[in-house]
Amino acid sequence: MPYYRSVGEVPRKRHTQFRQPDGSLYAEELVGQEGFSSDSSLLYHRHAPTAIVAAEEFTPPAFTRVPNLPLKPRHLRTHKLDGAGADPVLGRQYLLANDDVRIAYVLADKPSPLFRDATGDHCLYLESGSLRVESPFGVLEAVAGDYVVIPTSTIHRLVPTGDEPTRLLAVEAAGHIGPPKRYLSVRGQFLEHSPYCERDVRGPDSPLLVDETDVEVLVRHRRGWTRYVYANHPFDVVGWDGHMYPWAFSIHDFEPITGRIHQPPPVHQTFQGPNFVICSFVPRKVDYHPDAIPVPYNHHNVDSDEMLFYTGGNYEARRGSGIEQGSISLHPSGFTHGPQPGAAERSIGAEFFDELAVMVDTFRPLDLCDAGTACEDDAYAWTWARRA
């Protein structure tokens, strides 16, 4: 995360004696990226965070991947998936994946187990409902429209809250997710041209201090999954400081960049990950050149697949193609895509688009997973051949 936070009790100097009321030392834990050469946070535990009493191999719910063959645009209807009674981690239904990123959807109404993903960061987007993110860093509350970024190897539990089930899009990276580098100064401050800044970002603000013993934690790592039993609860942290922690940002705080003529997708970029980007399309004033055509032109991104998750409003370029709340479109490299027939003409003279969507562009092809195939609208690929 681009800025420093300090929560709870920490000593004035790092790696110095910091004692508990009984005179024993708090146990330091440095959580950091790229060895000791990048962002990190320093946590102070009541008990040793290394103490485990059991470990066994764990078999997670399985899913398969198949290539997008024949190569064609796809439309996935996530609200058609049967997911009631799921938790937000093990209940994820994987839609699309490659070796850089996995994209899943879940309708969750019960808490997840304690979970640590040692293979990469997660970026969660809440379509509806609300969620409490618990971790050694504290509690982070999230509501519909929030992105939540959970750093690699953060033990966490996701707890749906409120009266309605939580609908969640999960983007799981094989690496780190953060703000685009072009938005940041060399010292990590958001620059003036960034569409969001530190004031829009939320982090945990108080320790949890859970005191339990023999606590199970599921860990996904580079060789598979393991179920550990920790001697003490990992949420026993009295304080921490640093730049690495779970954080949230609302899509409604994204300030759109507009122009006289149509602006390309990079102006909507919100995050970057390993070989992919995440963009936010939000309600905005559209092109104001007198001869402007506000919807996108036909385009062929020769280096990327484009996945778009429709999460509110009315996406003008897709009208008439069966796109609905919770729809996902996949437009792969190797296929020219663009607005539906008639959309360009209809958009002329429009001054405002009321749309909400999350886009993931990947620079390696996305495969189809079981849940994606199960909820596919087979008629979508042919909708350009008829006038809506």
Across the chain, what does the average pLDDT equal? 94
Q: How many domains does the chain have?
A: 2
DSSP E strand stretches across 174-233: 201-202, 213-221, 224-232
Q: Domain check: are 226 and 266 in the same one?
A: no
Same domain, yes or no: 112 and 168: yes
Lowest mean pLDDT among 53-62, 219-228, 280-289, 339-348: 339-348
Span 351-378, average pLDDT: 96
Q: Is 300 an active-site residue? A: no
Instruction: Assess whether pLDDT exceeds 80 at residue 307.
Output: yes
| Other CB atoms within 10 Å distance of the CB of residue 187 | 7
Tens of pLDDT, residue by residue over 257-279, are: 999 999 988 999 999 999 999 99
209 Rama class: left (phi>0) / alpha (psi -120 to 50) / beta: left
User: Are 91 and 232 members of one domain?
Assistant: yes
Please report, as a single letter, which amino acid is at residue 202: R
Which pLDDT score, from 0 to 100, does residue 320 have?
65
299 is in an annotated binding site: yes
Within this chain, do residues 306 and 368 fall inside the same structural domain, yes or no? yes
Same structural domain for residues 160 and 191? yes
337 is annotated as contributing to ligand binding = yes
Closest CA to 162 of 117, 128, 115, 123: 128
Residue that is last in its domain, among 220, 250, 280: 250
Q: How far apart are the first and last CA of the chain?
A: 44
Tell me: pLDDT of 324 over 90: yes
Distance CA 50, CA 41 (A): 17
The predicted structure's pLDDT at residue 317: 63
Which member of 262, 268, 300, 331 is catalytic?
Answer: 262
Q: Is the domain of 168 the same as that of 316?
A: no
In a domain, 276, yes or no: yes
Task: Check if the beta carbon of residue 101 is closer than 8 Å to that of residue 360.
Answer: yes
Q: For residue 162, what pLDDT band results from cuts at 50, 70 and 90?
A: confident
318 has pLDDT over 80: no
305 is in an annotated binding site: yes
Contacts of 22 (CB under 8 A, 6+ apart): none
pLDDT of residue 272: 98
User: From residue 294, how far is each of 245, 291, 328 by CA, in Å?
Assistant: 39, 10, 22
For residue 16, what are the contacts with CB-CB under 8 A and spacing of at least 6? none
115-141 confidence digits (pLDDT tens): 999 999 999 999 999 999 999 999 999
In a domain, 2, yes or no: no
More reliable by pLDDT, 344 or 388: 344
Confirm whether 154 is domain-assigned. yes
Instruction: Say yes or no: 331 and 266 in one domain.
Output: yes
What's the distance, CA 73 to chain centroid? 23
Please tell me which residue, 35 or 307, carries the higher pLDDT value: 307
Domain with 329, as residue range(s), is: 255-385
With respect to residue 17, please indicate whether it lies within any of the assigned structural domains.
no
In this structure, the answer to whether residues 179 and 294 fall within a common structural domain is no
Has 221 been labeled as part of a binding site?
A: no
What is the CATH classification number for the domain harbouring 147?
A: 2.60.120.10
